[in-house]
Amino acid sequence: MDEMDFSRSIHAAAASGNAARVAQLVASKGPDAVDASGYAPLHYAARGGHEKVVALLISCGANVNARTCGLQTTPLMRAVMGGHVGVARTLLEKGADLSSVDGEGRDVAYFVAQSKTPSDWAFFKQPETKKK
What whole-number distance in Å separates Cα of residue 73 and Cα of residue 86? Answer: 18
Distance from C-alpha of 13 to C-alpha of 23, rounded to nearest angstrom: 9
- pLDDT at position 119: 73
Residue 100 is assigned to a structural domain of this protein:
yes
Total domains, the chain: 1
In a domain, 49, yes or no: yes
Whole-model pTM?
0.87
Distances (CA, A) of 11 to 5, 91, 111, 126: 10, 18, 23, 33
Q: What would the pLDDT profile of 89-117 be if each residue is shown by its tens digit?
A: 999 999 999 999 999 999 999 998 888 77
User: What are the pLDDT digits (tens) for 51-79?
Assistant: 999 999 999 999 999 999 989 999 999 99
Domain containing residue 104: CATH number: 1.25.40.20
> For the packed helices 41-48 and 19-29, what is the interaxial angle rounded to 10 degrees?
160
Q: How far apart are CA 95 and CA 91, in angstroms?
A: 6
Domain, as residue range, for 64:
6-124
Residue 120's pLDDT band (boundaries 50, 70, 90)? confident
Task: Establish if 118 belongs to a structural domain.
Answer: yes
CA 25 to chain centre: 18
Residue 131 lies in a domain: no
Per-residue pLDDT, 49 = 98
